[in-house]
Amino acid sequence: MTPPRFAFIKARWHSDIVDEALFGFQEYVADVDVFEVPGAFEMPLLAQRLAPQYAAIVCAALVVDGGIYRHDFVADTVVKGLMDVGLRTDTPILSVCLTPHHFQETPHHIGIFKDHFRIKGKEAADAALAITAVHDGLQKCA
């Protein structure tokens, strides 16, 4: 049996933090194809284009309040878009898209969020492995 293929899409904004989710994911899943997009808004479209080729796709972004737009609107729109892609394509699309209430680009906050993203990356790997196992089990039962 061929092992499942996974894709990891990450936004460039705050890449020093977002990359930690990828590193956490790779602690459990070594063979992953990595794609980078400019920002969170671009993730659903790329996920939709990649979905037929992968068992599951993980998308990671840090959406912060930049004072120009409502960051909660952006995060909500992105996560809904990712869910939509999963439902349309029957490919699990997992989100590590976080939007903190308070984020300041200080060493302290950056450290906190790097640690948090590393943990979320590990959780995404666990979820990707679990959901593909469930999916494989459903196919065997059918």
The residues annotated as belonging to the active site are 70
| Rounded Cα gap, residues 58 and 111, in angstroms | 22
| Cα–Cα distance, 11 to 33 (Å, whole number) | 14
What is the spatial distance between Cα 93 and Cα 86, in angstroms, rounded to a whole number?
Answer: 5
d(CA 21, CA 120): 6
